[in-house]
């Protein structure tokens, strides 16, 4: 009887030790949910810098999330037309989009301030306004109306003034001109008597070559060379008064973004910030080389807008901003923020950047 009692006690103890051992073993990690999203863009597939930025943003998100958030990128027209990106993301047809906010002026006039303002902030100024001057908060407030969340995800830097088939000597040379130019710049051209036409990037060359449009702006020497505009127009003007630092955007369906785990939200934020810097650096590093090639190899005639023309365009730009502000309270709110920031930014810029730019390089 004693022997049986001992065996029972040993058995119970063994079971107890076994249970304790099992409790000490780590539980098998639960498989984390994988999200498969779609991104549509306003750019042709794998378009230099602009389309590449969308591709790279998707790649960086996949890498940082260890494959938990996979994004398939579609160029303009592959899944939705280029200028329907906003609606596709807003409705939830797709989760993400990549483009420029001035394409959505028909949705709300204030969208244009988050891309480019004629005679406005350059790339450095735009980043400062958005990230430290209250711009991003206004952008969030506006896009929330459309179930969207957006970030700066690229910048072209100061653009060129455009391609023309005739010289622009006076403001009257813009009258009747059919020019591909979006956003607020297009509205300023209208004030000068021109006809602003919105055409997606992949359609510009054909329209210029066939005479559907008389002139076009795009980005700068690197990109314009890739687009082949020198084959359809010979006069190449600077400066890009209409787009001094155009911000590109990555937008996400707000409900789907908020449904993501916090770490995946942070990964999207980070990838967009990286894309913002990467795009600007591509243009800044390559523009001069391609400008030389356009002039020396393709015999493009480089011109600068006359000062009186720029002065009149600047006057029209101020009038336009005043008119937009008078029509809509939220646009006024955004415009006031933008103008106030530009004033202080330019005061500091005159002492810092402009003074330094006058020094000769090493």
Question: Which CATH number is 232's domain given?
Answer: 3.40.190.10
Question: Would you state the pLDDT for residue 361?
Answer: 76
Of all helices (H) and strands (E), which one includes residue 302? Answer: strand 301-304
Q: What is the pLDDT of residues 234-256, one digit of tens each?
A: 999 999 999 999 999 999 999 99
Do 138 and 120 share a structural domain? Answer: yes
Q: What is the pLDDT of residues 339-358, one digit of tens each?
A: 999 999 999 999 999 999 88
Q: What is the pLDDT of residues 53-88, one digit of tens each?
A: 999 999 999 999 999 999 999 999 999 999 999 999
Do 145 and 70 share a structural domain? Answer: yes
Q: What are phi and psi of 342, to 5 degrees?
A: -60, -40
Do 146 and 106 share a structural domain? Answer: yes
329-351 vs 307-327: helix crossing angle, rounded to 10: 140
Domain that holds residue 194: 162-244+297-348
Q: What is the CATH number of the domain that holds 139?
A: 3.40.190.170
Do 66 and 208 share a structural domain? Answer: no
Query: Is 226:50 a contact under the CB 8 Å cutoff?
Result: no
Within a 10 A sphere around the Cβ of 213, how many other Cβ atoms? 24
Provide the sign of the torsion angle of the four alpha carbons 221, 54, 51, 48, taken in this order.
positive
Do 254 and 237 share a structural domain? Answer: no
Say how far apart CA 173 and CA 192 lie, in whole Å: 9
Q: Which of 10-14, 124-128, 306-310 has the lowest mean pLDDT?
A: 10-14
Domain stops at, among 231, 255, 284: 284
How many domains does the structure of the chain reveal?
A: 2
Question: Would you state the pLDDT for residue 199?
Answer: 83
Do 318 and 279 share a structural domain? Answer: no
Question: Would you state the pLDDT for residue 29?
Answer: 46
- Residue 14 resides in a domain: no
Do 265 and 211 share a structural domain? Answer: no
Closest to 241 in 3D by CA, of 163, 174, 305: 305
What is the arithmetic mean of pLDDT over 171-200? 95
Say how far apart CA 24 and CA 18 lie, in whole Å: 10
Question: Would you state the pLDDT for residue 7?
Answer: 42
């Amino acid at each position: 009887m004693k022997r049986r009692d001992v065996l029972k006690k040993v058995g119970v103890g063994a079971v107890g030790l076994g249970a304790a051992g099992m409790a000490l073993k780590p539980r098998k990690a639960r498989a984390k949910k994988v999200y498969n999203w779609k991104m549509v863009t306003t750019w042709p597939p794998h378009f230099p810098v602009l389309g590449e930025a969308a591709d790279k943003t998707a790649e960086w998100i996949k890498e940082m999330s260890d494959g938990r958030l996979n994004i398939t990128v579609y160029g303009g027209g592959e899944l939705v037309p280029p200028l329907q990106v906003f609606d596709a993301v807003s409705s939830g047809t797709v989760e993400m989009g990549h483009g420029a906010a001035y394409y959505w002026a028909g949705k709300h006039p204030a969208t244009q301030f988050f891309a480019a303002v004629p005679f406005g902030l350059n790339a450095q100024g735009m980043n400062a306004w958005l990230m430290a001057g209250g711009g991003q908060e206004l952008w969030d407030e506006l896009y929330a109306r459309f179930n969207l969340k957006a970030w700066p995800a690229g910048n072209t830097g100061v653009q060129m003034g455009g391609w023309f088939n005739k010289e622009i000597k006076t403001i009257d040379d813009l009258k009747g001109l059919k020019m591909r130019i979006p956003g607020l710049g297009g509205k300023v051209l209208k004030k000068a008597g021109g006809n602003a036409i919105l055409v997606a990037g992949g359609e510009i060359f054909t329209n210029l070559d066939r005479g559907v449009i008389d002139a076009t702006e795009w980005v700068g020497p690197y990109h314009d060379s890739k687009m082949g505009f020198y084959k359809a127009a010979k006069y190449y003007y600077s400066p890009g008064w209409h787009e001094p630092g155009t911000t590109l955007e990555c937008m996400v369906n707000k409900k789907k973004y908020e449904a993501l785990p916090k770490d995946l939200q942070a990964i999207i934020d980070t990838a967009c910030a990286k894309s913002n810097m990467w795009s600007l650096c591509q243009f800044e590093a390559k523009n001069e080389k391609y400008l030389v090639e356009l002039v020396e190899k393709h015999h493009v005639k480089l011109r600068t807008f006359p000062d009186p023309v720029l002065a009149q365009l600047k006057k029209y730009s101020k009038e336009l901003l005043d008119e937009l502000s008078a029509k809509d309270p939220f646009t006024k709110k955004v415009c006031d923020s933008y103008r106030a920031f530009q004033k202080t930014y330019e005061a500091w810029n005159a002492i810092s950047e402009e003074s330094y730019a006058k020094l000769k390089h090493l």
